[in-house]
Structure 1
Amino acid sequence: MKVLVAAIAFMSMSVMSFAQEMTADQVIDAYLEVSGGKEAWRELKGQRAVGEFTIQETSFPFEMWEMADGRSATVAEVMGMQFYQGCFDGENLWNTNQMTMKAELADSEETENKKRESQDFPNAYLDYNDKGHTIELIGKETVDGVECYKIMITKGTELVDGEEKPKVQYDYFDAETFAHLRSEMTMSSGPAAGTVITTTLSDYQEVDGLYFPFSIETSYGEMGSQTIELEEIELNPEVEDEIFAFPG
């Protein structure tokens, strides 16, 4: 009996030691595995999402495309009018001006930052070393009652008023399931510079073997929050080039 008790105690200590000694890479490997697997994510060439976003109790339908070659676009319908936001054709970043309803190019700094960001499709953690990113396990924290691993990812640098600044984000992964539950980053420019943006991810659903959050709530501190509820995600969609191209 004493031998059995000792063996059980040893096994328990080993499991606890393993859990405590997990590295950042082990956490991320587990997260990528439970969300579909690295190979499946690498094979993804693009995605299209349809849903509704709500801000200040007003909801609008939208459609969004993200492609592996860096192109992206979001089209929202507001009061019967279509607004194009964050549209990027690989070279030009543009949006619909809400006052004139005309397409306008973003400035050179925003465009350069978008180019850098686009390399992260479909996930900043996938092959992060090849992208020049670094990760660090900060420790464990509780998020909405769930014990999580807190990972800091530094995604190279971004331009802020002409200067290169580290682009840092904190992500929280369920310590038991390894699901990605929350992200935090600090706004680096504009009138709200210094504001912490908190994004909460939930309602994970499987789409062709990959798992995506269908509910995304983003808080901007005192500036309020917005919620995205997805209705559909289509993988590797056929898409017209005109969706991304600057019309001017």
Structure 2
Amino acid sequence: MKTFKLLFIAFTICFTSQINAQTADEIIDTYFENTGGVENWQKIEGIKMSAKVNQGGMEIPIEITQLKNGNQMTVINFQGKVIKQGVFNGESLWSTNFMTQKAEKSSQEATDNMKLAINDFPDPFLNYKDNGYTVELLGNETIDGTETFKIKLVKKPVTIDGKQEENVSYYFFDTENFVPIAVHSEIKSGQFKGQMSESKFSDYQEVGDIYFPFSLTQGLKDQPGQGITMDKIELNPTVDAKEFEFPEEQPETSQENKN
């Protein structure tokens, strides 16, 4: 019995040492290997996600499109209306105003920050060194009962109110499957400035040759988040470039002309 206990302790120490011996690059490499391989990730030219957002018990259909050239948009179907948000064509960023239902361009600052995010497609870790990003393994942390590796990702600074701010996120990779299950980032502006946002990922499923999370939760750290459930993820979709262009406002037709 004493021999068994000694062997168990030795195994535990060995296993713990292996976890602690992991480097950030080894974790990232294993992540890509487990989710389809770097070569298959690099073949991705676009991603289109069809999902439902749970808003106060109501399921709202949305479509999120992201392309390698930087084009992206979120389309919300709400009460019979199609509302585009975060539409970017590589140069201009715009959204539909929920009240007026008219397209409005974002500030130059927001547009410039969006241009920086183009390099994150399809995953910010894929070519992080080429993009000038850095990573650091900060150790282990338990997230919702799951042991994880905590990796700090530092990207190029963003500009907030005319000042450059650090662009840092903390990714939590579970120690069994080496996939991210949570991301924490400090909110830089708005009502919740200074607080930590939290995104959680689960239900990884295979799409083509790549594994993606089909269940997401987004919100503030340590608070209930908003659930997003993927219905379908399509790789390399065909999307008309006109969908990303800022719509020219049509002249209003007078009542006299209508008659």
Distance across 2 between alignment mates of 1:189 and 1:209: 37
User: Which residue type is aligned with residue 168 of structure 2?
Assistant: V
Q: Look up the match of 2:257.
A: none
Contact 1:56 1:226 in 2 (8 A): no
1:48-92 deviation line (CA, Å, top 9, x unaligned): 111111122222111111000111011111111111001000000
Q: Look up the match of 1:234.
A: 234
Q: Look up the match of 1:185.
A: 185
Q: Does residue 1:218 correspond to 2:207, yes or no?
A: no
Q: Look up the match of 1:78.
A: 78
Q: Look up the match of 1:247.
A: 247
> Scaled by the length of structure 2, what TM-score is found?
0.88
Shift of 1:192: 1.6
1:6-44 deviation line (CA, Å, top 9, x unaligned): 999988765543322111111111111111111111110
Q: Look up the match of 2:252.
A: none
Shift of 1:222: 8.9
1:154-203 deviation line (CA, Å, top 9, x unaligned): 11110111111110000100111102100111110122211211111011
Contact 1:53 1:227 in 2 (8 A): yes
Distance across 2 between alignment mates of 1:61 and 1:76: 6
Q: CA 1:13 to 1:115, structure 2 compared with 1: closer, same or farther past 3 Å?
A: same
3-state secondary structure, aligned to 1:228: strand
3-state secondary structure, aligned to 1:18: helix
1:100-115 alignment runs, 5 A limit: 100-115=100-115
Shift of 1:205: 0.5
Q: Look up the match of 1:160.
A: 160
1:34-183 alignment runs, 5 A limit: 34-183=34-183
Contact 2:20 2:139 in 1 (8 A): no
Size of the alignment, in residue pairs?
244
3-state secondary structure, aligned to 2:120: coil
Q: Look up the match of 1:24.
A: 24
Distance across 1 between alignment mates of 2:11 and 2:183: 34
Q: Look up the match of 1:205.
A: 205
Q: Look up the match of 2:33.
A: 33
Q: CA 1:224 to 1:15, structure 2 compared with 1: closer, same or farther past 3 Å?
A: closer
Q: Between the two proteins, what is the percent identity of the paired residues?
A: 37
Larger Rg: 2
Alignment gaps of 5+ in structure 1? 1-5
Distance across 2 between alignment mates of 1:189 and 1:7: 54
Q: CA 1:12 to 1:59, structure 2 compared with 1: closer, same or farther past 3 Å?
A: closer
Shift of 1:221: 5.3
Post-superposition, which runs of at least 4 consecutive aligned residues in structure 1 deviate over 4 A? Answer: 6-16, 221-224
User: Which residue type is aligned with residue 234 of structure 1?
Assistant: E
User: Which residue type is aligned with residue 36 of structure 1?
Assistant: G
Q: Look up the match of 1:3.
A: none
User: Which residue type is aligned with residue 122 of structure 1?
Assistant: P
3-state secondary structure, aligned to 2:26: helix
Contact 1:47 1:237 in 2 (8 A): yes
- Larger mean Cα displacement after TM superposition, 237-246 or 224-233: 224-233
- Larger mean Cα displacement after TM superposition, 233-242 or 57-66: 57-66
Contact 1:173 1:179 in 2 (8 A): yes
Distance across 1 between alignment mates of 2:220 and 2:233: 26
Contact 1:55 1:225 in 2 (8 A): no
Q: CA 1:8 to 1:157, structure 2 compared with 1: closer, same or farther past 3 Å?
A: same
3-state secondary structure, aligned to 1:119: helix
Contact 1:169 1:183 in 2 (8 A): yes
Shift of 1:225: 2.8
Contact 2:139 2:150 in 1 (8 A): yes
